[in-house]
């Protein structure tokens, strides 16, 4: 067993050496605990003082105290030195160009993102959301919307049939009839969902997404239709987006309109996307046809309203500059991660 | 509907630019799809007369032409077989650029000077004719630019017609609309057709039903000379993409385009008995139509017949047995009106669609037949010679005069939201030849013109007013509607919330088609009686691999995984929330929403490899995702994730690597690992894990209420234990035992290490558990905690046949 004197000197040397090697403020505290703390090594040595021969005790006690004070002052100066350096040398050791420890995160499909923004604009205007069945009965998809069998307008819908009376809905408009049949005005609804047409090329997929909307009350006019859809377009695109309404035909609305916005690709100068017209069609709309009201038992003299429908993929393609609609359904992460 | 600007200008006096006309039409609801020059730029190509032809000294097949180009003569080498003295043709002068981009230069051809090129119609991009150089009318002035001489400056405009506007399937109809804009009336080529005397005709017409055929006009023209049409007529047809055939056929096509009235010419001498009978087909009858197709007919189909047999499908296509050909001398012209519904039905059954049926299906002006007949007769006589047999048939018993419509000014104003006077409303209608007479201060009596078959109701007229006033001039307002609260669909909210959680966990959302291949069930190895094999079938799928509605979302995600891996994206986390479809007897299918997700590749896709390493995902990743979904929905108490045996439901899962997600006794879905066979079947070359949940059922589980519990005032104490237990002991059960031992002070028990191997006896494992103790009313001292901890250790040793592992 070494003598207490030797032990104290060894501690002094070891502690001094260790302190000199410390380059970061954070390493100081463990050092203090190890040597100078309540359970530190000096304390332990001092506790053994009682076992030393009585004649040696004062000398050893003094030596221990000197070493301790010496170490404490060395410690304090080391601490101020490191603090002063402001981490200069110490921080250089941290390479902050290394990447952050990010947690993984994914994204919603661009169709969902656009669908959500469309819905939230109309929800902000007080429209409720309703969803209907994808497999629809012929009656709601066509007849309730004033499209009897053999009507030429059926040729505009390349329909997938399940049976004589069942089909994959070709638009989300059947919800108009389903809701009006159940409820009374005032009504403000949108119906988002998947729709299906047997058509497939660079601008058509056999499944795509639509949002149908309608508003019915007393004294609703075509001017109101223009107002609501203009609000939608300025929110969806930009405040100063040029908008035009032009006559069109849908069997379940009259007057019917198609709504164009100034081409977002060429700014209206004319390009391939807008077929050199400077305009892009983004919405179909119109005043709900009196025949549709009659079929659900509303008096067309008392109530009027408008309906509209828009294709989500088309809006996503225009907003994001996507050129091939089929990309939406390949679910390639290189595509999905872009939005 | 295609037409050209020059053609339009025959009926309406306008000098508007083509682009302006196109713009007007689009804003009238006649959307213009194309507005393009009909002919290439032919600057430098002129009319030339070949004055003399002499042989080329060095080439047998070439000749030297002495060509008159007006002020001067020039010499051109030519190889066309029809180059001859006296021929008036087209000459491209040096400097001219032909449509193909070829620039004409003076050249020496086999040693002889040639100053230009004599051209075929094809070389000039006028027609497809390349049999020789152009043969032009002898009276054309040499030197005149060819574009000017042949009227080759024109614009083709194509309108995408909506089904309600058959009146605009005619150049006159389009002209009428343009007239409305510029405030002018059209000048039709036939103002008023003559009245036809029906006596002493060498033919007869019988119409069985006026409902099927409201009108049928017929006239006979004898000694017609069949031949090619003149250039002006061919030019009209060519410009709208129609092939000229012969003068008679071209005339019927031209008048159809002009008036919108389909016409048909029969070879009169092929009509048995000189009779026309308009009747339904009899069972067993058949007909070969002009396109060479043989059709079996039925009693739903309206036919034009002679004394013996059908000779045309009414309103759709003529029969080969009565076709006008080169030998025809006498023709019977038909100008009729057939009921739209019948033509649609027959066209559908015979799967035929023609220019004629397109018009009849949408509605042809019943008063248009005599005018178009007169026009066609005049053209036939002018172009094909022939003698008109005096008189003719004009059956019109089925024609119903359109009922007058009452239009209210107040209603118009209310629906359009615009303050229009009755005068303004009336003027708008009159501008497009809709007569409106004032009845009182608020009412107009409107007689819809016969050509506007779409105008039947007040609303139809209000639309016309809006159209003519211009949609963009109508006011823009926001509706005054009562405030109301719209209910939220809880399932939709749930879908959004789950999607949010999953994206936060690193998943991208996928959307796959609802229709899939029936083979997916085989690839998943589903048993014959598995409900997911019972799918809804499409009657007319685009392809076999899109022929059934999906009953599970997993195959779609597996295919997405394959695609991504094939494109070198190996770290995939995808989810889909969508409907699956289960057939219901004689009703709409059941369409529940499901949630499926797939994990493959690295555990931390997108995170820097530097920190997370390359460690691959395993089943605990997918189990963790389930736990986090459950936690985010506050369902932790109600939903468990338990080990389950791979049964019939999961033939695609790896045995021993599947967990059932339960809510009480109900199974909400599963998570686990795909087996190798399934992955191979889907062409996926790496391990993959899935979760598949019934979303509606998940939504049916009641979430934990949010109830505040006061924060603990006293500190906790954390004590560890390490037990050596047989490997078969489930760690989850050990935790349950601790939680279930009845000690109130246990706040939490957590496994922090499971270890097998060095220093552990074979068949055993060490499980280290840390227990957090806390009392709500005091600080627990070491002695108290020690006693409880010791009790638990003893209980665990006893229950799990374990022993304490020495530190
Ligand atoms: Zn553009």
Q: pLDDT tens digits for A75-89?
A: 888 888 877 766 555
Residues A106-140: tens digit of each pLDDT: 999 999 999 999 999 999 999 999 999 999 999 99
Confidence of residue B649 (pLDDT cuts 50, 70, 90): confident
Confidence of residue B343 (pLDDT cuts 50, 70, 90): very high
Say yes or no: B274 and B212 in one domain.
yes
- Beta bridge partners of residue B600, listed in sequence order: B572, B688
Q: Which two tokens stand for residue B634?
A: 């506050």
Which one is predicted more confidently, B269 or A62?
B269
- Contact A44/B at CB under 8 A: no
The confidence score (pLDDT) of residue A87 equals 52
Nearest to B564 among A256, A290, A333 (CB): A333
pTM for this predicted structure: 0.84
Residue of A nearest to B498 (CA): A108
Residue of B nearest to A258 (CA): B29
Burial zone of B805 (CB within 10 Å; 0-12 exposed, 13-18 middle, 19+ buried): middle
Say yes or no: B13 and B79 in one domain.
no
Give me the domain span that covers residue B87.
45-150
The confidence score (pLDDT) of residue A91 equals 52
From chain A, pick out residues whose CB is under 8 angstroms from the CB of B488. 129
Which one is predicted more confidently, B687 or B199?
B687
CA distance B482 to chain A (A): 8
Instruction: Answer yes or no: is pLDDT of A66 > 90.
Output: no
Residues B609-624: tens digit of each pLDDT: 888 778 899 999 999 9
Q: Give residues 226 to 245 of A whose Cβ lies within 8 Å of B.
A: 226-228, 230-231, 244-245
CA nearest neighbour of B359 among B300, B315, B303, B312: B315
The confidence score (pLDDT) of residue B385 equals 83
Nearest to A332 among B499, B503, B567 (CB): B567
From chain A, pick out residues whose CB is under 8 angstroms from the CB of B164. 249
Assess if residue B52 is contained within a domain. yes
In this structure, which CATH number among 3.30.930.10, 3.30.420.10, 3.40.50.150, 3.40.50.2300 belongs to the domain A110-336?
A: 3.30.930.10
Instruction: Answer yes or no: is pLDDT of A49 > 80.
Output: no
Say yes or no: B686 and B569 in one domain.
yes
Assess if residue B705 is contained within a domain. no
Give me the CATH number covering residue B95.
2.40.50.140
The confidence score (pLDDT) of residue B178 equals 96
Residues B4-20: tens digit of each pLDDT: 999 999 999 999 999 99
From chain B, pick out residues whose CB is under 8 angstroms from the CB of A151. 163
Say yes or no: B615 and B736 in one domain.
no
Q: Give residues 286 to 325 of A whose Cβ lies within 8 Å of B.
A: 287, 289-290, 304
Say yes or no: B273 and B380 in one domain.
yes
Assess if residue B578 is contained within a domain. yes
The confidence score (pLDDT) of residue B544 equals 93
Say yes or no: B114 and B223 in one domain.
no
Question: What is this model's ipTM?
Answer: 0.87
From chain A, pick out residues whose CB is under 8 angstroms from the CB of B560. 330-332
Say yes or no: B681 and B620 in one domain.
yes
Residues A133-162: tens digit of each pLDDT: 999 999 999 999 999 887 777 766 689 999
Alpha helices (H) along B363-421: 369-384, 409-416
Assess if residue B477 is contained within a domain. no
Say yes or no: B372 and B227 in one domain.
yes
Say yes or no: B28 and B69 in one domain.
no
Give me the CATH number covering residue B455.
3.30.56.10
| Eight-class DSSP state of B419 | -
Cβ within 8 Å of residue B679, ≥6 positions away: B558, B685, B686, B687, B688
DSSP B197-236: P-TT-SSEEEES-TTT-SEEEEEEEEEE---PPPHHHHHH
**Structural domains in chain B (count):** 6
CA distance B538 to A162: 5
Instruction: Answer yes or no: is pLDDT of A1 > 70.
Output: no
Q: Which two tokens stand for residue B674?
A: 């795909």
Residues B456-473: tens digit of each pLDDT: 999 999 999 999 999 999
CA distance B416 to A287: 9
Burial zone of B183 (CB within 10 Å; 0-12 exposed, 13-18 middle, 19+ buried): exposed
Instruction: Answer yes or no: is pLDDT of B218 > 80.
Output: yes
Whether a cis peptide bond, with omega within 30° of 0, leads into A255 is yes
B133: Cα within 13 Å, side-chain hemisphere: 25
Contact B604 A104 (CB under 8 A): yes
CA nearest neighbour of B464 among B440, B419, B443, B433: B433
Q: At what angle do helices B422-430 and B458-469 cross, to 10 degrees?
A: 90
Interface test with B, best of A190, A221, A269, A305 (most B CBs within 10 A): A221
* CA angle, residues A199, A213, A217, in degrees to nearest 5: 145
From chain A, pick out residues whose CB is under 8 angstroms from the CB of B610. 98-99
User: How far, rounded to the nearest angstrom, does the alpha carbon of residue B139 sit from its chain's CA centroid?
Assistant: 51
Neighbours of ion ligand 1 (CB under 5 A): A 263, 265-266, 271, 274
The confidence score (pLDDT) of residue B542 equals 93
Give me the CATH number covering residue B734.
3.30.70.380
The confidence score (pLDDT) of residue A14 equals 85
Percentage with pLDDT > 90 across chain B: 81
Which of A36-50, A233-247, B610-624, B787-801 shows the lowest per-residue confidence on average (mean pLDDT)? A36-50
Q: With contact defined as beta carbons under 8 Å apart, do B602 and B615 qualify? A: yes
Mean pLDDT, range B141-151, rounded to an integer: 90
Cβ within 8 Å of residue B522, ≥6 positions away: none
Say yes or no: B563 and B607 in one domain.
yes
CA A265 / ligand 1 centre spacing (Å): 5
CA nearest neighbour of B33 among B260, B241, B238, B344: B241
The confidence score (pLDDT) of residue A27 equals 81
Q: What is the three-class DSSP state of A288?
A: strand
Interface test with B, best of A136, A200, A254, A335 (most B CBs within 10 A): A254
Q: What is the three-class DSSP state of B410?
A: helix
CA distance B752 to chain A (A): 22
Percentage with pLDDT > 70 across chain A: 96
Confidence of residue B384 (pLDDT cuts 50, 70, 90): confident
- Counting one residue from chain A and one from chain B, the pairs whose CB atoms sit within 8 A come to 253
Mean pLDDT, range B159-185, rounded to an integer: 95
Which of A189-198, A239-248, A262-271, B425-434 shows the lowest per-residue confidence on average (mean pLDDT)? A262-271
- Beta bridge partners of residue B78, listed in sequence order: B63
Mean pLDDT, range A318-325, rounded to an integer: 91
Q: Which two tokens stand for residue B87?
A: 């021929």
Task: Please name the residue that has the structure tokens 């035929």.
Answer: B352
CA nearest neighbour of B17 among B220, B230, B224, B182: B182
Contact A200 B542 (CB under 8 A): yes
Nearest to B479 among A107, A228, A328 (CB): A228
Q: With contact defined as beta carbons under 8 Å apart, do B365 and B167 qualify? A: yes
- Contact A219/B at CB under 8 A: yes
Give me the CATH number covering residue B646.
3.30.930.10
Confidence of residue A38 (pLDDT cuts 50, 70, 90): confident
Cβ within 8 Å of residue A220, ≥6 positions away: A287, A303, A304, A305, A306, B479, B481
The confidence score (pLDDT) of residue B757 equals 84
Residues B222-249: tens digit of each pLDDT: 999 999 999 899 999 999 999 999 999 9
Assess if residue B712 is contained within a domain. no
Say yes or no: B567 and B681 in one domain.
yes
């Amino acid at each position: 067993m070494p003598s207490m004197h030797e032990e104290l000197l060894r501690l002094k040397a070891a502690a001094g050496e260790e302190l000199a090697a410390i380059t970061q403020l954070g390493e100081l505290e463990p050092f203090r605990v190890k040597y100078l703390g309540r359970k530190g090594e000096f304390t332990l040595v001092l506790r053994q003082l009682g076992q030393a021969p009585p004649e040696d005790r004062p000398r050893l006690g003094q030596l221990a105290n000197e070493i301790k004070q010496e170490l404490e002052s060395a410690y304090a100066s080391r601490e101020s030195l490191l603090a002063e350096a402001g981490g200069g040398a110490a921080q250089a050791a941290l390479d902050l160009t290394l990447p952050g420890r990010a947690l993984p995160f994914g994204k919603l499909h661009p169709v969902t993102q656009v669908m959500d923004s469309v819905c939230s604009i109309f929800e902000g205007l007080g429209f409720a959301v309703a969803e209907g069945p994808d497999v629809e009965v012929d009656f709601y998809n066509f007849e309730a919307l004033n499209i009897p069998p053999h009507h030429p307008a059926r040729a505009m819908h390349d329909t997938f049939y399940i049976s004589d009376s069942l089909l994959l809905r070709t638009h989300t408009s059947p919800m108009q009839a389903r809701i009006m049949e159940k409820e009374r005005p005032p009504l403000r609804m949108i119906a988002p969902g998947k729709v299906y047409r047997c058509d497939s090329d660079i601008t058509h997929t056999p499944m795509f997404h639509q949002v149908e909307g309608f508003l019915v009350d007393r004294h609703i006019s075509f001017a109101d239709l223009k107002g609501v859809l203009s609000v939608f377009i300025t929110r969806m695109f930009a405040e100063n987006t040029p908008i035009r309404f032009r006559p069109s035909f849908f069997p379940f609305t009259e007057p019917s309109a198609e709504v164009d916005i100034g081409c977002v690709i060429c700014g209206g100068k004319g390009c391939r996307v807008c077929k050199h017209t400077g305009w892009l069609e983004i919405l179909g709309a119109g005043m709900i046809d009196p025949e549709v009201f009659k079929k659900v038992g509303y008096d067309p003299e008392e109530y009027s309203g408008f309906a509209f429908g828009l294709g989500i993929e088309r809006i996503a393609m225009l907003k994001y500059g996507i050129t091939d609609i089929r990309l939406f359904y390949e679910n390639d992460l290189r595509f999905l991660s872009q939005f | 509907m295609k037409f050209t600007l020059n053609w339009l200008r025959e009926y309406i006096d306008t000098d508007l630019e083509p682009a302006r006309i196109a713009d007007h039409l689009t804003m009238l609801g006649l959307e213009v799809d194309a507005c393009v020059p009909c002919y290439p730029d032919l600057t430098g190509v002129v009319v030339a007369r070949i004055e003399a032809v002499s042989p080329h000294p060095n080439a047998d097949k070439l000749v030297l032409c002495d060509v008159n180009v007006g002020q001067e003569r020039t010499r051109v080498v030519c190889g066309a077989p029809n180059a001859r003295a006296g021929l008036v043709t087209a000459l491209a002068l040096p400097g001219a650029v032909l449509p193909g981009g070829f620039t004409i230069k003076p050249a020496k051809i086999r040693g002889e000077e040639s100053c230009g090129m004599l051209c075929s119609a094809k070389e000039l991009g006028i027609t497809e004719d390349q049999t020789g150089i152009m043969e032009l009318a002898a009276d054309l002035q040499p030197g005149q630019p060819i574009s000017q001489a042949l009227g080759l400056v024109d614009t083709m405009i194509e309108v995408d017609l909506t089904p309600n506007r058959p009146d605009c399937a005619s150049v006159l109809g389009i002209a009428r609309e343009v007239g409305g804009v510029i405030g002018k009336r059209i000048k039709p080529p036939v103002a008023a057709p003559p009245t036809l005397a029906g006596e002493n005709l060498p033919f007869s017409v019988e119409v069985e039903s006026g409902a099927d055929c409201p009108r049928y006009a017929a006239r006979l023209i004898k000694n017609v000379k069949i031949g090619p049409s003149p250039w002006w007529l061919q030019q009209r047809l060519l410009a709208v993409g129609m092939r000229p055939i012969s003068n008679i056929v071209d005339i019927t096509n031209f008048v159809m385009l002009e008036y919108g009235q389909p016409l048909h010419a029969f070879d009169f001498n092929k009509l048995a008995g000189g009779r026309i009978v308009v009747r339904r087909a009899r069972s067993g009858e058949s007909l070969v139509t002009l396109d060479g197709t043989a059709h079996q007919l039925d009693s739903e189909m309206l036919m034009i017949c002679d004394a013996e047999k059908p000779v045309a499908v009414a309103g759709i296509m003529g029969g080969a047995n009565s076709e006008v050909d080169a030998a025809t001398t006498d023709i019977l012209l038909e100008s009729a009106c057939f009921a739209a519904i019948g033509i649609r039905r027959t066209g559908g059954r015979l799967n035929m669609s023609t220019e004629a049926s397109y018009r009849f299906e949408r509605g042809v002006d019943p008063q248009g037949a005599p005018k178009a007949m007169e026009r066609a007769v005049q053209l036939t006589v002018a172009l094909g010679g022939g003698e008109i047999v005096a008189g003719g048939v004009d059956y019109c018993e089925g024609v119903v005069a359109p009922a007058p419509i009452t239009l209210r000014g107040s209603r118009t104003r209310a629906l359009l939201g615009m303050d229009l006077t009755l005068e303004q409303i009336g003027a708008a209608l009159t501008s497009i030849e809709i007569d409106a007479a004032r009845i009182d201060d608020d009412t107009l009596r409107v007689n819809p013109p016969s050509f506007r078959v779409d105008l039947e109701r007040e609303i139809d007229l209000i639309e016309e007013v809006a159209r003519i006033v211009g949609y963009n001039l109508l006011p823009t307002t926001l509706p005054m509607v009562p405030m109301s609260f719209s209910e939220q669909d809880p399932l939709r909210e749930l879908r959004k919330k789950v999607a949010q959680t999953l994206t936060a966990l690193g998943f991208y959302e996928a959307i796959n088609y609802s229709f899939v291949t029936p083979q997916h069930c085989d690839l998943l190895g589903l048993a014959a009686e598995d409900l997911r094999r019972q799918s809804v079938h499409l009657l007319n799928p685009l392809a076999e691999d899109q022929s059934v509605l999906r009953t599970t979302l997993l195959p779609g995600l597996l295919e997405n995984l394959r695609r991504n891996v094939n494109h070198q994206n190996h770290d995939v986390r995808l989810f889909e929330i969508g409907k699956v479809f289960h057939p219901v007897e004689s009703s709409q299918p059941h369409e529940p929403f499901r949630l499926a997700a797939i994990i493959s590749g690295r555990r931390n896709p997108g995170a820097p490899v530097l920190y997370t390493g390359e460690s691959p995902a395993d089943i605990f990743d997918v189990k963790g995702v389930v736990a986090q979904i459950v936690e985010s929905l506050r369902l932790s108490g109600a939903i468990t994730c338990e080990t389950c045996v791979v049964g019939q439901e999961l033939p695609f899962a790896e045995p021993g690597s599947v967990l059932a997600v339960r809510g009480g006794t109900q199974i909400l879905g599963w998570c686990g690992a795909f087996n190798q066979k399934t992955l191979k079947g889907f062409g996926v070359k790496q391990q993959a894990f899935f979760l598949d949940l019934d979303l509606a059922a998940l939504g049916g589980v009641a979430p934990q209420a949010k109830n505040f519990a006061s924060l603990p005032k006293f500190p906790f104490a954390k004590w560890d234990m390490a037990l050596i237990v047989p490997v078969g002991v489930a760690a989850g059960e050990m935790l349950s035992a601790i939680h279930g031992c009845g000690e109130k002070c246990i706040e939490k028990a957590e496994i922090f290490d499971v270890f097998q191997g060095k220093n552990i006896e074979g068949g055993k494992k060490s499980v280290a558990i840390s227990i957090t103790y806390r009392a709500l009313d005091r600080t627990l001292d070491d002695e108290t905690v020690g006693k409880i901890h010791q009790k638990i250790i003893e209980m665990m040793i006893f229950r799990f046949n374990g022993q304490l592992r020495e530190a």
